[in-house]
Amino acid sequence: MCRPPVANTFEAQVLRATLLARQQHRPEAGMAALQGLKPASEEQRQMVVVARAQILRHAKRFNEAYRLLDKGPSKRRKIPPTCSTTTPWPPRASAASILPRRICGA
């Protein structure tokens, strides 16, 4: 599945920031590169947060990485329930549907 060039460009910039931090052994360099990015969607914003956490983990700053990921998204979306509370599960069966039916009319 091909993504639009803009998304690929954003992903490339995020990857560049993480590589910059690793190659120079300076997390500040990668963080500075991420600071200049402007995410256009929620998915891109999440990519930046994960990249920041990766940079911090690589720098062995585990507590900061954990706090960053633990903070979670600032705009939490409500996730719709996966089951309906009005429909019982498993579906209730009547005695007529459970008992064997006579094939012949005897």
Q: Say whether pLDDT at 21 is over 70.
A: yes
Helices 5-24 and 42-58 cross at an angle (nearest 10°) of: 10
CA 33 to chain centre: 22
Q: Say whether pLDDT at 16 is over 60.
A: yes
DSSP letters of the chain? -PPPHHHHHHHHHHHHHHHHHHHHT-HHHHHHHHHT----SHHHHHHHHHHHHHHHHHTT-HHHHHHHHHH--SSPPPPPPSS-SSS-SSPP--HHHHSPPPSS--
Kindly report, residue by residue over 41-52, the tens digit of the pLDDT: 999 999 999 999
Confidence band, pLDDT 50/70/90 cuts, at residue 8: confident
Residue 11 tokens, joined = 């992903």
Q: In Å, what is the CA distance from 70 to each residue of 36, 49, 63, 67, 74? A: 23, 11, 10, 5, 11
